[in-house]
Each structure stands twice: as C-alpha cells, then as structure tokens.
A and B are shown apart, each in its own frame.
Chain A
Amino acid sequence: MSVLVYLIPAALLLGGASLAAFMWAMKSGQYEDLDGAGERILFDDAGPLAPKHGETAR
C-alpha cells in the first residue's frame, strides 16, 4: 500500500513529462516538415530551426 504513495505520482509524472514533450515538439514546429528534417541532418551548415509557432503559415 505504501508503495503506491510514490509509484502513482511517479507514473503520473512520467506520463505528464512525455505529454509535455509532445506538446512542446508540436508547438516548436517539429512536425511542420517531416521529410525535410531527415534531409537537413546531411547539411554541413545547419540552418536556423523551423520558424516558431504562429510566425509562419504552413
């Protein structure tokens, strides 16, 4: 029983962290160009990251 006291918060925290990570990724435009991201790792001079959310239309 006492094990629940920290296991449940731990489960919720981990789940919440991954949710937050997904939200952040979406907000920072990482899903905007799925094909391009794969190609860009091959460039020597990495350009700036994708424009921030709200600043550019798709």
Chain B
Amino acid sequence: MSCCAPGADINAASGAPSPDELLHAARSLGDGVAQIELSVPAIHCGACIQKLEQALSRLDGVISARVNLSTRRISIRFRQSAPPPIVETLTGLGYPPHLFDEAEGKDRTLAELLRSVAVSGFASGNIMLLSVSVWSGADGATRDLFHWISALIAFPTLLYAGRTFYRSAWQALRAGRMNMDVPIVIGVALAYAMSIYDTLHHGQHAYFDAGVTLLFFLLIGRTFDHLMRDRARSAVLGLARLAPRGAIVLAPDGSRDYRPVNEIETGDRLLIAAGERIPVDARVIGGASDLDCSLVSGESRPQPVGPASTVRAGTLNLTGPLTLEASARATDSFLAEMVRMMEAAEGGRTRYRRIADRVSAFYAPVVHLTALVAFIVWLVMGGDWHQALTIAIAVLIITCPCALGLAVPIVQVVAARRLIERGVMVRDGSAMERLTEIDAVAFDKTGTLTMGQPRLVNAPDIAPDMLLIAAALGGQSRHPLSQAIARHAAAGDAGSDAPPVSFDAVTEVPGFGIEGWRDGSLWRLGRPGWALGQETVDQETVGQATFGQATFGQATFDNDKDAAGAAWFASGSGAMLARDGRECARFAFEDTVRPGAAAAIQALQRTGKSVEILSGDTEAACRDIAGRLDVQQYAAGLLPSGKVARINAMTQAGRKMLMVGDGLNDAPALSAAYASMAPATAADVGRNIADLVFLRDSLEAVPFVIDVSEQAGKLIRQNIALALVYNIIAVPIAFLGLVTPLIAAVAMSGSSILVIANALRLLRSGERSPTAKPDRVPVVGHYPGRYSEGGAT
C-alpha cells in the first residue's frame, strides 16, 4: 500500500487557511499572477509529489505547482483573477495545507555563507598547493612566482569571502564593542599586507595560505552556527490570525451590517454563524451551540453554551448560530491579552547568552593584548619593526579562533543529527545549551501526557460480532468515537477471516451518529437516545440535548473539525449500537496516555528534576492522570495566564523550567519557560514557539533530549578546553617568533580537526543504544516544514 493513503491523518484538517487568508498570504508576481507557499506536512514520498502536482495543475487558474519534498512545501502560481480551490483540493486528497507561520523568505545569509565557503575553499586549496612547494624547497624566482600567484588568488578571496567578518567587525567597532571578528579582520588584513611587502622584497615567508585557510575554517564554523541559530520567529502572528477580521453586527433597527473587528463596540449585538470564530469577549443572548474552547483551556472537547453564557474571543463556534452581546472591545478581549502575553514572553527570551558568545567576549581582548604585547616586546628588544610586526601577526593568526569557532556549532550540528534520527527536531541550537540547566519540567495534560484521542475501553464486554458490525459502520464516519471503534477492531482482528460486514444506504446524522441498513434491519451507532429511537433529529433537540454539563469520564479528544458530531458525545454516555431500536452494545471510551509517558516521568524524576502538570482541564481529570503517572504536583483549571504565572513564579524562585505542551493555551507558557518542547501534533502556534518538536508519539523523547543535550554540553566544554589548551601551547611558540607559515598551517588545521573529531564522538555514543529507523532524515538544521512523521503513516 502506498504511504500516501488519503485521509490517513484525519486530525490534520484543523487550521486550514480560508480562501481569503490564502489570497492575503500570496505574493503578487505582477501580470495578475500570484504565488503562494504552503506547508503540507503530509507529503512523504515521490508518489505524493506526482499526485499533488498533477491534481493542482489540472485546476483552472493554476499556472504551475511545484512540491518540495525536503521542506514539505508546495509553491503554487495562480491567476489572481480566478483563485483556484487550492485548499479544498489539497484537503480532499488527504494533504491538508498550512500557511507558513513564519514569514521566512529564502535564507540569503545561508546562501552567502555557502558561497563564501566554496570560494575560500577553492582559494585555500590552490594557495596551499603552492605553499607546499615553497615549504618543500622552492626558492629564488620560483618562490617569488608562487608567492605572487598566491597573492593574486588571495586578494579577491579575502574581499569576497571575508565580507561576513568585515561587516560584523565594523558593526561591533561602531557600537563601541569588541567581538571575535575584530582580531580576525585585523589579523588577516595585516598578514596580507605584510606578505605583499615580503614578496616585494623576495622574502622567505608569506602568510597568504594562513589568511585564506583561516577564513575557510572560520566560515565552516559560521555556516554551522547559522544553521543552528534561532530564527527570528514569532508565534504572535499565528495567534493573531485566530482573530476574525470582523463580524455581522445587528443594528437596533434590525439591519445587518458587516463591521471590522476593531469597530465593534461594547454592547453591540453580533451574529455568529456555526464555523466562525468569536471576535470579541461577549455574552450569549440567543441561540445554543457548542464552542471549541481549546484556546482557553486546551481541551478540545466542545463546551455547550446557551443564553447568558460568556464566551471568549478566539473560541470557535461549532454547531449552531449564536447571537452575542459584546462585553469588551477587541483590544481588551481575551485574544488580545494572549497576544500581549506572548509578546512579553518572547521579548524576555533573548536574555540568554550563548556559550560561544560568552567565551569570545572574554577571548577577543586577550588575543589583542597578547599580540600588542608581542609587538612592543619585540620592538623594544630587537628594535626591528618588521620582525616585531611579523611576530605580532603570527600571534594574531595563531590565536584566531578556528577551533573555537567550530567548537560549539559542530557539536550542536552533530547533536541535532542524533536527535532527528530519534524524531526530535531542533529549532534552536541554544536550546540544547539551556536544556542542560533544566531542573523542573512542566507538562500540559491533554495532547501532551495523553494522546488526545479516544480509546475503546470496554471491548471485552462486547460481543465480537457486534464489535465487527459497529466497526464496519463506524469506519464510514469520521467522528472520533466511530474511528476509535474501527481502529480497535482493525487492531484486534487483523488476521480474522470473517466476511466483511457491509451496509446499504449508510447515512451520517450530524450530532447523533451513523445509521445503515443490513439484512432488512436498521442499525444505528451513536448517541444512546437516538440509537434507541427515543430522540428524533430535530434542530431544537440538538440545542437542548447538547445543553448541560458534559462529563465524559477522562475522555477528551480532538474534535474541533468534526463540528456536527460534537453533540453526540457531549451527552456524556459514550456510544451505543442498536438494531431497530433495540440495544445491542454500549461503548465506553477514555483518553489514551501517551506511550512512554510513565517511563519518561520516572526518568526525569530519577535525575532529580521536579515534574508537574499544568492543565486547563478539570481537577478530577488531572488527579486521575497524575495518579496514573505518579506525578505529585498538578495544577488544574489553569488559564493560559495561570500557566505563565506558575512558570514565572518558578523562574523567580531560581528554577529553570522546561515546558512541554501542545495546545494553543500552552503557547504563552512555552515562550515563557526557559526551554520548551512540543509534540508534532501541537497547534501551529505552539509548534512554532517551541525550541524542540518531537515527531514520534512517545514522550520518552523528553528525557532523551535532555540526555543528548547534557552529552553535547560536556563535549562543548571539552572542545572549548581543547581550543584553549591549543592556544596555551601555540601562543608561547608564536611569541618567541618560532612560527613559520608551515607551523601556522599545521597548528590551525590540527586543532580544527581535533575539535571536529571530538564532536563526532557524540554519534558513536549513540550507537550503543539502539536507534530506531534512521531513515531519510535531514542532516542538520531547521526544517519548519518537517513535523508530520509521527502523525500520518
């Protein structure tokens, strides 16, 4: 079977962009042509490429469609005059698209760095070739010729490949600061000038190779560093997108009028249709419906509302039309408050200074001082400015931090590779440094500790033939409970040779269940009352039946796409299978604990980290799950601000917190925490803000990531120590004037290779523990599009 079975991931349809959003996000290319980039996590293989490209190019108005398998994105060009139904087509094929949450254009810096690496690599190879000839005894006219050729190659290279360093050094100097690039630039420029002077005077030593090789090594380090660096990413935009642009306002004279959201005043009456988001905090004055409040509580189980209920901005109206009275303006509403909270948290996050920055801040002045002292000492002692300058340059070159520049990024790149092999995507290299300091871990409940997916629990009590019938019927519905039954049967009877059960005239009754005819009997699977024929499908009953508090065991599940089915399980009695109105079987469900959750929590507690649960769900549900997972501390019923407050309180008490969460309501907490992780199934906003995203189901990713980070931290410290030891040995040699270009070249390459080899040990330590499927994975870096591996198979 193809891995591309459509509809494999029934949960993925949420958050699909509306046609308006799509048009808004598209870039105009002129001539009425627009281009849109969509992230499609469900893309897996070559067949997906072909299927999507063919389907899209068949649409009217589409000029071209190109799938990028590496980043799992589609780039589509279409005519603005006739926007094609892109989202519908993709969703229909089982590939729900998402808009990018980060306005990330092509990474020009990376392209520039790569080009610089290529140029300096070419130049250093050729100059080294000539230098080796000089070292092995070329002299006289040949040596001069080789020096001149080297100078000719080095000059454009230094200009081109050195740009990154000149720019950064200049910025630092202008701001009155000192960074590592200042000694690099001074060293390289002086070395070049001095070598030209020596070549003119037929000198024996020229440092052309040293200067260019130095740039080459530094650029490699810089490129790795860039790959691991935190992008300027913001989840605020994603959150802000949840705010509708406007709503229909009901004027006192009865006229209806669409108004933008910031013109809605307190007291206005709003009409909200099913499927729309609530624009401002409001009170219900008419109608009854179910709301998806996942933004507020993290629970995606719909909440019934009726007259006099208060509703919050950003929640989604699922089932029925509502008439609201605005109780706050948009800027004072819940959603605006969330956005402000996120902005505050994101602003505070930049405080972390990376190890590499801290080391170089201390290192740069030391290098300068040493070179200066060398110059003065030799000038005073020998009185020969040429010799003094040569030695000062040798000191600058030899202390220039090739090894130091590689020490941190190479370890992070190797660690990121190990993590991605185990299904963890690193979004921010510095997160691995921060993770080593973590001493407390907070988990969200629904969707993080649990799968957020219902599971059939009373299967042994159900007659096998009834289960088969229910599964056959339920398999035709996309309702989460029907799917849970179908899934259970499929897992249990994989090898059974029972004839497939088939139904005629299967119809799904939104809000009640699914029914079908078989052997002259009417079978119904759904709400007990409806299955027994006591309730009839009637719009009024839907309203009344859904009203009232839903208590559904611990079961909570992701249902915001299946709006119509909400009423069914909100009644709280599970599902029933009935034949001609007689009960045949009852089904009970509960939420599954995420695999590896207990092991992960034990592992964390064993290493002395405190674990707690921060949930927006009810106290009873939290107590149950805390008991099952042996977690002592939990806080229930928290609003997003409550989670942030809890994390801030811990931070003020000197604790470093790792937040693991998936819901929209966790987003502010994720950004407030010292480090953050989210499962790949998380809401877009949460996935964007988290430092790390784990793609597989198992929560054991959490201790694994901490473990790898600690190993990486150890290697980083070793590498920095190695680089310093190298300097302690090399600087006196340079200071004594014993360094020739040959020694400089050997020392520089030697220390860099040592540091790289040390970093690669991280890969070897991973081989001892069995690694699961190291299939096609990106080697390094930041792949925002890749997050679906755990979800769809």
Q: Which of B53, B73, B118, B142 contacts A23 (CB 8 A)?
A: B118
Please tell me if the beta carbons of B68 and A58 are within 8 angstroms of each other in the complex.
Answer: yes
Q: Contact: B70 with A19, CB < 8 Å?
A: no
**A9–B391 alpha-carbon span in the complex (Å):** 33
Q: Which of B50, B107, B122, B142 contacts A43 (CB 8 A)?
A: B50
| Interchain CB contact (< 8 A) of A58 among B64, B71, B115 | B71
Contact (Cβ within 8 A) B149 A15: no
B125 at the interface (CB under 8 A from A): yes
Contact B69 A1, beta carbon cutoff 8 Å = no
B68 & A36 in contact (Cβ 8 Å cutoff): yes
User: Given A35-B776, A39-B69, A57-B106, are A1 and B142 neighbors across the interface (CB < 8 Å)?
Assistant: yes
Q: Are A35 and B118 in contact (CB under 8 A)?
A: no
Please indicate the chain A residues that have their CB under 8 angstroms from the CB of B119 in the complex. 19
In the complex, how many residues of chain A place their beta carbon closer than 8 angstroms to a beta carbon of chain B?
A: 30
Inter-chain CA distance A51–B111, complex, in Å, is: 16
A residues less than 8 Å from B142 (CB atoms): 1, 4
Query: B49–A40 contact, CB under 8 A?
Result: yes
Which residue from B64, B126, B145 sits with its C-beta under 8 Å from A11?
A: B126
- Nearest-CB distance from B232 to chain A (Å)? 15
Contact A33 B70 (CB under 8 A): yes
In the complex the two chains form, is B46's CB within 8 Å of A57's CB? Answer: no
Chain A residues with CB below 8 A from B125, complex form: 15
With A26-B115, A33-B71, A57-B105 given, is the CB distance from A51 to B66 under 8 Å?
Answer: yes
B161 to chain A, nearest CB (A): 12
| Nearest opposing residue in chain A for B65, CB measure | A47
A2-38: CB near B (< 8 Å → 1, else 0) gives 0010001001100110110011001000001111100
Contact B75 A56 (CB under 8 A): yes
Nearest-Cβ distance from residue B441 to partner chain A, whole angstroms: 34
Of A33, A43, A48, which one neighbours B64 at CB under 8 angstroms? A48
| B18 CB to nearest chain A CB (Å) | 21
| A35-B70, A43-B50 known; A8+B122 contact, CB < 8 A | no
Give A7 to B145 CA distance when docked, in angstroms: 13
Instruction: State how many angstroms separate the Cβ of A57 from the closest Cβ of chain B.
Output: 5
CA distance A43 to B47 in the complex (A): 9
CA distance A39 to B50 in the complex (A): 10
Contact A15 B70 (CB under 8 A): no
By a CB distance below 8 angstroms, the chain A residues around B122 are 15-16, 18-19
A35: chain B residues within 8 A (beta carbon): 69-70, 776
Q: Are A58 and B46 in contact (CB under 8 A)?
A: no
Chain A CB within 8 A of B20 CB:
no
Q: Is the CB of B35 within 8 A of A56?
A: yes
CB pair B69 A58 closer than 8 Å:
no
Are the C-beta atoms of B105 and A23 separated by less than 8 Å?
A: no
Query: Would A40 and B70 be within 8 Å (CB), given that A8-B149, A47-B53, A48-B64 are in contact?
Result: no
> Do A15 and B46 contact each other (CB < 8 Å), given the known contacts A35-B776, A39-B69?
no
B residues less than 8 Å from A4 (CB atoms): 142, 145
Inter-subunit contact B45/A39 (CB<8 Å): yes
With beta carbons under 8 angstroms apart, the residue of A1, A18, A26, A43 that contacts B46 is A43
Choose among A15, A36, A48, A55 the residue that contacts B69 (Cβ–Cβ < 8 A): A36
Kindly report which residue of chain B lies nearest to residue A32, judged by CB atoms: B68
Closest chain A residue, CB of each to CB of B114: A26
Asked if B50 and A11 make an inter-chain contact with CB atoms under 8 angstroms apart, the answer reads: no
CB-CB < 8 A to A18: which residues of B? Answer: 122
- Chain A residue nearest in CB terms to B779: A34
Instruction: Known contacts A12-B126, A23-B118, A26-B114; decide if A33 and B104 are in contact (CB<8 Å).
Output: no
Closest 10 CB pairs of A and B: A39-B46, A36-B69, A35-B69, A33-B68, A19-B122, A35-B70, A57-B105, A33-B70, A56-B75, A57-B106
Chain B residues at the A interface, C-beta cutoff of 8 Å: 29, 35, 37, 45-46, 49-50, 53, 64, 66-71, 73, 75, 104-107, 111, 114-115, 118-119, 122, 125-126, 129-130, 142, 145, 149, 153, 776
A sample of 25 cross-chain residue pairs with beta-carbon separation below 8 angstroms, ordered by A number, consists of A4-B142, A8-B149, A15-B126, A16-B122, A19-B119, A23-B115, A26-B111, A32-B68, A32-B70, A33-B68, A33-B69, A33-B70, A33-B71, A35-B70, A35-B776, A36-B49, A40-B46, A43-B50, A47-B66, A54-B106, A55-B29, A56-B75, A56-B106, A58-B68, A58-B104
Question: Apart from A15-B125, A23-B115, what 19 extra A-B contacts exist at CB < 8 Å?
Answer: A4-B142, A4-B145, A8-B130, A11-B126, A11-B129, A15-B122, A18-B122, A19-B118, A32-B70, A33-B69, A33-B70, A34-B70, A35-B69, A35-B70, A42-B46, A43-B49, A57-B37, A57-B105, A58-B71
